[in-house]
Amino acid sequence: MSARFYADIALATGQSVTLPEQTARHVQVLRLQPGGRITLFNGRGDAEGQFEATVERMGRSDVDVLVGAYTASAREASRATHLVVAMPANERMDWLIEKATELGAASIQPVMSERSVLRLKAERAEKKVAHWRGIAIASSEQCGRNRVPLVRDVATLGDWLKQAAGRPAGLGARLLLSLQGGSRPLAQALAGTGELTFLS
């Protein structure tokens, strides 16, 4: 099996393309030579699949590939699941992004609550979100997903709640998870609901 890479560009069978800088750097680390094979995905539109590609040229800082056969493979969950999470400290958020991606989250919204340990402002928040988006891409490459979850900009919990309440569907079903006897099973409670948003 060839190495998988996310390429944020249009892909079409038979097309020669220059890979984006970040993707090219990853391909170069593998020291592939012309003729080497890789797998590309871009998660655009209805693209529920991936493309085989052959390295045509390895430059000092760029890589050209010939895009080959497209393989359709629906790997996304039938119901979009969104995760809204108060940011934990240290590297725990990195781990959370990785695992949420592997489990199929459609989007991840980092929030700061009143008691959050991690507080981010302006430039530092932008750098962290860019880092987390990189983790989501790497996790998608590794786990075989063809779509990268959207990692949203950091918001306060209050701002997110106001924004969510303003959406036409609001927050949809509101459920409290419980282990008490007599509680409805989660699958039964979710029957017939659309997208899911979990606030943690």
- What digits encode the pLDDT tens for the residues 66-99? 999 999 887 888 888 899 998 888 789 999 999 9
pLDDT score of 33 more than 80: yes
pLDDT number for residue 40 = 95
Buried/exposed 70-87: b ≥16 CB within 10 Å, e otherwise:
beeeeeeeeeebbbbbbb
Domains and CATH numbers, the chain: 4-72 (2.40.240.20), 81-199 (3.40.1280.10)
> Cα dist. 101→25, 77, 142 in Å?
22, 12, 10
pLDDT number for residue 44 = 75
Helix 122-143 and helix 92-102, axial crossing angle in degrees, nearest 10: 40
pLDDT number for residue 136 = 96
pLDDT number for residue 2 = 87
pLDDT number for residue 148 = 94
pLDDT number for residue 174 = 66
Tokens of 42: 């871009």
- What digits encode the pLDDT tens for the residues 162-197? 888 777 665 566 677 778 888 888 888 787 777 888
Within 103-181, residue ranges assigned H as helices are 122-143, 157-165
Q: What is the DSSP string of 4-19?
A: EEE--S---TT-EEEP
Separation of alpha carbons 135 and 78, rounded Å: 23
- pTM for this entry: 0.84
Separation of alpha carbons 76 and 171, rounded Å: 22
Contacts of 103 (CB under 8 A, 6+ apart): none
